[in-house]
Amino acid sequence: MLGADLVLPGSLVRDPRLDYVALGHIHKPQDLNENAHPPVIYPGSIERVDFGEVGDDKFFVVADITRGRTLVQWRKLENIRPFIDRHLNLESADNVTETIKAALPAKEVLEGAVVRLTVDYARELDILIDEPELRRYAEGAFEFHLIKHPRIDPRIRLPANQAVSSLGPLELLAHYWSASHTEDYEADALQKMAKEIIEEE
């Protein structure tokens, strides 16, 4: 089915005339009729599928089904593919790439894992991040996601002896383009447009 799941009333699957109900699609292992007959089992997925399942254990089920009495054994799966989720708030321009690598586990821990590394940093540090080197470090991972979150400081910093009220609109805009790290060619074009609009007014 596309677009919506089929919703069944609980009473339908908990009918004691049934001896075992096997459900699928939901990744979380659970018995919807615990300590009662029949077992209504979601065994869950046998692998972690996304980062929402980072800490989830995975199982398979062995069911001995007999009329009116079913025995269910949950077997925990060992050595399944790990998901590693790390976050780094990068504050310094010193040894940027090495600092980011240090936020990751050792190479042997990354082997075969699905890895996500999220890095928050000031925008001016962007050019110091050696992404090819980070990808080489994590090359043993099954998958490596580097998520970069550059921060933009929109605050306008004026000299101590200068007040906002002493500046005209175009001067304030020039400070804003600088504070927001707007590329020079974009800032020039925007400043020109702003000048035309202000002069028309």
Render pLDDT for 150-172 as a digit per residue (tens, 0 to 9).
Answer: 887 655 566 666 666 677 888 88
- Reported pTM: 0.62
- Rounded CA separation 25/152 (Å): 41
Q: Is the pLDDT of residue 179 over 90?
A: no
Instruction: Tell me the pLDDT tens digit for each residue of 23-71.
Output: 988 889 999 999 999 999 999 999 988 888 888 999 999 999 999 999 9
Question: What is the pLDDT at residue 199?
Answer: 83
CA distances in angstroms from 131 to 9, 108, 110, 123, 150, listed in the order given: 51, 20, 17, 15, 14
Q: In this predicted model, what pLDDT tens digit does every residue of 58-108 receive, in sequence order? A: 999 999 999 999 999 999 999 899 999 999 999 888 999 999 999 999 999
